[in-house]
Amino acid sequence: MAKYTSIGGQALIEGIMMKNPQKKTAMAVRKPDKTIDISFIDEKSIKDKFTFLRLPILRGMVTYIETMIQGYKAMMKSAEISGFTDLEEESEKDPKKESALIAVVMTVGSVLGIALALVLFLGIPRYAVAGLEWLAGTDFSKIVRSGIEQLIKLAVLVLYMWGISFMKDIYHVFAYHGAEHKTIFCYEAGLPLTVENVKKQKRFHPRCGTSFLILMILVSMIVSTVVQMIFPNVYDIAWLWIVAKVLMLPIICGLGYEVLKICGKYDNLITKIISAPGMWLQHITTKEPDDDMIEIAIAALKACDEIEDEALEDDIQEDDNI
């Protein structure tokens, strides 16, 4: 019997994290010896302490930040478990040195990633619109200006995702992403979680983070237009407009989160139209997984939902919380 679930996941390095908000969060990672390592992730949320943060919009802001932090920790943990970060023979002899090296590498990568994102998704659209206005010899209306900016962002996002999908390691992560979606679909369909059943499922899911990125772009167009109407001169100062866009991100994330939840819960013409761009982009961000990847996804989902898994019991080793 088909059912709605709020279970979500994230592709990792040689693994997958699955989160069941009502129960627990687990990650399954393929170790170098081909066994499956299961780790349970600490789910403490600031929303448990301050209940007002569970209100619509606010919960989306908090969830987005906490998901980013949790995802980063899970990615680091999966890199260690999978052996992906054995950068030097010396580091293998000293686990503390290895962990420190991993932290430095991934922290630098995150900082550079944020800088790149600011340039690609805030700087380029802003100056591209200014260039188009100069070529046209006129100032665009607020709605047209916002619309062009969002279209440029969308184009940059698609080209960026398409470009990195050719990288071997990224392609591998995208295949785990596909395994995650297929397994959740199988679970929601009420079918036994077997490799064969999962392989038959679609790999495009409406609650995917990819869809969330698209929704953020669409919501950003609306929010940006409203802000320009309230503060008509803010757009004319380039650096101030970029700062304003950064400050708008929490609200945009919160609104996007609410829309994504609705699209994941209801299946009708309106939600299909809203989800369509994100579903299309998943042709790039998800790839068809192999059986070993599906096995990892099944192990992660069963662990987070406390489902018995006798078939994989001999291959799974449980670790402490992270």
Q: What is the pLDDT of residues 216-227, one digit of tens each?
A: 878 888 888 888
> pLDDT band at residue 4, thresholds of 50, 70 and 90?
low
Is residue 168 helix, strand or coil?
helix
Rg, Å, the chain Cα set:
21
Is residue 9 helix, strand or coil?
strand
Task: Please tell me the distance from the alpha carbon of residue 153 to that of residue 121, in angstroms, as a whole number.
Answer: 6
Mean pLDDT value across residues 192-196? 94
Q: For residue 257, give the amino acid letter.
A: Y
Buried/exposed 206-245: b ≥16 CB within 10 Å, e otherwise: bbbbbbbbbbbbbbbbebbbebbeeeeeebeeeeebbebb
Whether 35 shows a pLDDT value over 90: the answer reads: yes
Polymer length of the chain: 322
Cα-flanking dihedrals φ and ψ of residue 314, to 5°? -70, -25
Structure tokens at 237: 């100062």
Mean pLDDT value across residues 164-169? 88
Task: Please tell me the distance from the alpha carbon of residue 94 to that of residue 322, in angstroms, as a whole number.
Answer: 20
pLDDT at 115: 55
Per-residue CA distances from 322 to 19, 77, 312 (Å)? 14, 8, 22
Within 10 angstroms of residue 44's Cβ, the number of other Cβ atoms is: 9
Mean pLDDT value across residues 245-255? 84
Instruction: Report the share of the chain in percent with pLDDT over 70.
Output: 81
Q: Where are the beta strands (DSSP E) in 2-73?
A: 8-12, 15-19, 25-30, 36-41
| Residue 146 contacts residue 219 (beta carbons within 8 Å) | no
Task: Please tell me the distance from the alpha carbon of residue 111 to that of residue 114, in angstroms, as a whole number.
Answer: 5
Higher local confidence (pLDDT), 294 or 267:
294
**H runs (alpha helix) in the chain:** 46-49, 58-82, 89-93, 95-118, 124-136, 142-164, 168-188, 195-199, 209-230, 238-265, 269-285, 291-304
Residue among 19, 11, 27 at smallest CA distance from 77: 27
Whether 314 shows a pLDDT value over 50: the answer reads: no
Whether 90 shows a pLDDT value over 60: the answer reads: no
DSSP calls for 79-125: HHHHTTT---HHHHH-HHHHHHHHHHHHHHHHHHHHHHHHIIIIIHH
Within 10 angstroms of residue 142's Cβ, the number of other Cβ atoms is: 16
